Amino acid sequence: MNAFNTQTFQINQILNIKQVTLITGLSRATIYSILDPKSKHHDATFPKQIILSTNRVGWIAQEIHEWIQLKVSQRLTRI
């Protein structure tokens, strides 16, 4: 099931952390751990944040979707 089926998806849509957690199924802490190069959970393929203001970041919906597709394709190649 595609995580975007229940939401309006636009290529240039910017997602906040709450939306990214809902779409990916990852917790907020896990997402920030994945983004941290010093973390053992670091994933260089996870989309980088974009800075929206001094206190706000977001992620491009298309990039999150592509990351999910990458994870699915990696799983399929291991089978």
Number of Cβ within a 10 Å radius of residue 17:
15
The helix-helix angle for 28-35 and 17-24 (nearest 10°) equals 100
Q: pLDDT tens-digit profile of 39-49?
A: 999 999 999 99
Q: What is the pLDDT of residues 12-48, one digit of tens each?
A: 799 999 999 999 999 999 999 999 999 999 999 999 9
Task: Say if residue 1's pLDDT is above 50.
Answer: no
Extract the tokens encoding 1.
């099931």
Which pair of structure tokens corresponds to residue 59? 């992620």
Whether the model pTM is above 0.85: no
Quickly state the pLDDT bin for 77 (edges 50, 70, 90): confident
